[in-house]
Amino acid sequence: MSDAVDDSAGKVVEMRQRRRRSGAAEALPEKIDDPEKLDEPDDRGDGPPEETSDSVLPAGCPVTPLGHDTGTCYYLCEAGQLRNLSAKDHSRNNLIDLFGRRAEYVFRTWPRKQQMKETGAWIITGFKAEECGDTLRLACKLAGVWSPVGRVRGAGAWRGVDDELVLHAGDALLTVRAGDAGVFQEPGALPWIEGKPGIVGRQVYPTAPSLPRPSPAREPQDSAEGAGAKMLRMLGTWSLRRPGIDDHLVLGWIGAAMLGGALGWRPVMWITGAYNTGKSSMDKLVDRTLGAGTMLHTSDASAAGVRQVLGHDSRPVAIDEAEADTDGRKMKAMVELARSAATGALAIRGGSDHKATQFTLRSCFLFSSILIPPLLPQDRSRIAVIELDALGSSPPPDMSERTCAELGARLLRQLTEQWHRYDATCEAYRDAMARAGHSSRGQDVYGTLLACADLLLYDHPPDGETLDAWCDKMAAEGMAEIQAQSSDNDACLRHLLTTPLEAPRDRLRFTVADWIRRAIGTYPGMDDDAAAAALADRVLQEAGVKVCAEDGGKPIKLDRYLAVASSHRGLSKIYAGTQWADAPGAQGVWVQSLRRLPHLVPLGANGKPKAIWIGSTVKATLLPLALCLPAPPDRADEDPSSAASPDRAERSADDTYSIPF
């Protein structure tokens, strides 16, 4: 046998075969009707197993051994579904279930017989479950080490090794042929080849519940009667905050949800609006268009529950009523799951049995809620927000299940016909989004959405005029969700500057930013007051920050800068409960974020932080004061006495960073 064969398992099988040949004949009564047949069931040889898994199981076995890993054997059962059994799980009932509708195979291949005393005839009374299990396990050993991670593809859309589109419809595989649109010109020709689920190359496509298939009829080319144009008109009946943009983005998300695992990036969308704006109706339209059983739609689920229900599928997920709960942990976990699914990153979770579970989600997520919960910058940048206003007078679209199902099949047919140009189309829209000022993450989100919408609406690549028009429409500086985003380092600094601090004794209470302005004498209505400046300096140092004008006694080019301690109890209180918090005895995470700010004062020798006295000598990050102070208030809003101060005006003219003096 080869090295892949488990010697002990092989010996067990061989020993039992030998025992059946020798011992069975000795135990037989005198009336024997061809006893050799007892040892040679139908379709089974009497020699020892060869070194291939094909010869271990007789021809026509309905169960496919995939391999083994750390004591677990993996099979495709008779129904084509993935099953994993440990050594002890190879019991009689599990084996019967494994062979399913072909259960007679185990009785014919591993029969347990008994001779009737009256007639001398031999009848099958059962099957030898132990021998059956040993043979199956040996077949898995021969198949080699195998893991489902990255190898199993459930229901949904996938990309093949040659970039072909593979639609796993549950009970069938539809592989969209490669090539240009010319191959679809033949009358009645379908752009896909239909096959059965199973092993395709290195991938395993298990059988699953049936999903909707593309329409057999071809869509009209570039026509207002096309499925994409019809869906666009239906979406236009809602009061969208950005008509002409949001309807295309929702259409693009529907296309992305259908393509799922075949995309390099799966965009996340969040529909929001006040009561009676039609959020649930839009969810229903999307759900029914995708087809029964396609989308996992829930309003009360945990991230772990969604992950377990999806399994290896790439089906889309809709989370309705995604409002923030009291502590936000449940929705935070769900958003993190959507973030992981967007990139298809591998996630690992430990189990109660001390065995890790690995999974990779490739699903598009759709959230809807009245208010969007607080989101971290890395989550917000992955989400396209659709805002709905109060419903107008437009008549609602026909959202019957039949109408939506037919429209969904037509949309899926259009995607199969246009799949050959997806990569080039997506890259073209990503370039347009880059010119519109979007970050690389924004290019992924909006480039994918617009590319999928383009595939559903047109039969040709986008031209330069179309791309320029979208570049103007989607300018980042004019999009509310982009403007609402802030980088992690900006958010860290803003958290510090807006934290209120209270002075001892007189109980004056100002934000850190205002205490800074008081320390340098630029607070509105404040003349040069040495006592007030000294108090502000004391309050700031107790918080772990200090306004400085020199570096170790040597004047520096900056007129003033703010020193933020790398480790300080005052800053620990300010950042407690945030992602920038520290741990006892460790440097604060805020240091990492603040050092990413632009115009940062260079570090000292060898890249080490500056040593500053802030209650004690500590390492500190130096920030230009102009970067920290808020924009100067309108002069008309300032105290009249402050405007008459000649010293303030003189300092403002000399200031390098235009600090609002």
Query: Side by side, which strands form the sheet with 383-388?
Result: 296-298, 317-319, 365-369, 268-273, 383-388
Query: Does the pLDDT at position 378 exceed 80?
Result: no
Residue 600's pLDDT band, with cuts at 50, 70 and 90, is: low
Dihedral Cα 554, 560, 566, 569, nearest 10 deg: 110
pLDDT for 601: 66
State the average pLDDT over residues 371-384: 83
pLDDT value at residue 522: 83
Give the integer Cα–Cα distance in Å for 332 and 340: 12
The predicted pLDDT at position 41 comes to: 40
Average pLDDT over residues 34-58: 46
pLDDT digits (tens, 9 = 90+) for 471-516: 999 998 878 777 666 677 888 999 999 999 998 877 789 999 999 9
Is residue 37 over pLDDT 90?
no
What's residue 416's pLDDT?
Answer: 95
pLDDT at 574: 93
Please spell the DSSP secondary structure of 159-222, one letter per residue.
E-TTS-EEEE-SS-EEEEPPS-GGGG-STT--SEEEE-SEEETTEEE---S------SSPPPTT
Closest by Cα among 140, 355, 430, 384 to 271: 384
Res 639 pLDDT > 50: no
- Model pLDDT, residue 528: 67
Per the CB < 8 A criterion, the answer to whether 524 and 642 are in contact is yes
The string of pLDDT tens digits covering residues 543-555 is 999 988 654 444 4
Is the pLDDT assigned to residue 529 strictly greater than 90? no
Contact criterion met (CB below 8 Å) for 341 and 313: no
pLDDT of residue 55: 60
Long-range contacts of 25-34 (CB under 8 A, 24+ apart): 28/115, 29/115, 29/120, 31/115, 31/120, 32/115, 32/120, 33/120, 33/121, 33/122
Question: Exposure of 100 by Cβ count < 10 A (0-12 exposed, 13-18 middle, 19+ buried)?
Answer: middle
Confidence of residue 412 (pLDDT cuts 50, 70, 90): very high
Separation CA 147–CA 70 (nearest Å): 10
What is the pLDDT at residue 325?
A: 64
Structure-model confidence comparison of residues 149 and 79, the more confident one? 79
How would residue 527 be classed by pLDDT, with cut points 50, 70 and 90? Answer: low
Which ranges in 269-323 belong to alpha helices (H)? Answer: 279-290, 303-310
pTM: 0.77
Which single residue is written with the structure tokens 């209120």? 500
Which of the residue ranges 49-53, 280-284, 384-388, 391-395 would you say has the lowest mean pLDDT?
49-53
Q: How many residues does the chain have?
A: 661
Decide if pLDDT at 134 tops 80: yes
The more confident residue out of 565 and 451 is: 451
Please tell me the predicted confidence (pLDDT) of residue 354. 55
**Mean per-residue pLDDT over the chain, rounded:** 81
Predicted local confidence at residue 596, as pLDDT: 83
State the Cα–Cα distance between residues 517 and 562, nearest whole angstrom: 11
How far apart CA 214 and CA 187 sit, in angstroms, is 17
Residue 76: pLDDT band with limits 50, 70, 90: very high
CB contact at 8 A, 635 and 641:
no
For the cut 70, the answer to whether the pLDDT of residue 181 exceeds it is: no
Determine the Cα–Cα distance for residues 64 and 77; give it in Å rounded to an integer.
7
The share of the chain scoring above pLDDT 70, in percent, equals 79
Q: What is the pLDDT of residue 372?
A: 86
Tens digit of each residue's pLDDT (9 = 90 or more) over 269-328: 999 998 889 999 999 999 999 999 999 998 888 888 899 899 999 999 999 987 766 567
Residue 523, pLDDT score:
84
Whether 91 contacts 83, CB under 8 Å: no
- Among candidate residues 333, 80, 295, 117, the one with its CA nearest the CA of residue 196: 80
Contact (Cβ atoms closer than 8 angstroms) between residue 246 and residue 386: yes
| Contact predicate 389/273, CB 8 Å | yes
> Residue 72 — pLDDT band, cuts 50, 70, 90?
very high
SS3 call for 614? coil
At 145 the pLDDT is 95
Q: Which two tokens stand for residue 145?
A: 């080490």
Considering only the C-alpha atoms of the chain, give the largest distance between any 2 of them, rounded to a whole number of Å. Answer: 127
Tokens, residue 19: 């025992």
Give the model's pLDDT for residue 5.
40
Q: What are phi and psi of 589, to 5 degrees?
A: -70, -20
Which residue(s) pair with 367 in the sheet? 270, 319
> pLDDT (tens digit, 9 = 90+) per residue, 184-217?
556 567 889 999 999 999 999 999 999 999 999 9
Does the structure show a pLDDT above 80 at 619? yes
pLDDT level of residue 110 (50, 70, 90 thresholds): very high
- Whether 382 has a pLDDT exceeding 80, the answer reads yes
Q: How far apart are CA 415 and CA 145, in angstroms?
A: 37
pLDDT at 206: 96
What pLDDT is stored for residue 235 in this prediction? Answer: 96
DSSP, residue by residue, 544-564: TEEEESEETTEE-SSS-EEEE
Mean pLDDT of 260-268: 95
259: closest CA among 186, 364, 336? 364
The dihedral built from the CA positions of residue 251, 164, 67 and 92, taken in this order, carries a sign that is: positive
Total Cβ atoms within 10 A of residue 549: 12
Name the most confidently modeled range: 31-35, 71-75, 343-347, 528-532: 71-75
Strand partners, 269: 366, 384
Provide CB contacts within 8 A for 315, sequence distance 6+: 154, 155, 156, 211, 260, 294, 295, 296, 363
Check: CB of residue 387 under 8 Å from CB of residue 479: no
Compute the CA torsion angle 51, 56, 59, 64 (nearest 10 deg).
-100
Instruction: Write down the pLDDT at residue 341.
Output: 92
* pLDDT value for 486: 66
What's the CA angle centered on 128, arms 127 and 129, to 5 degrees?
A: 100
Residue the block writes with tokens 């959405």: 449
**pLDDT tens per residue across span 419-429:** 999 999 999 99
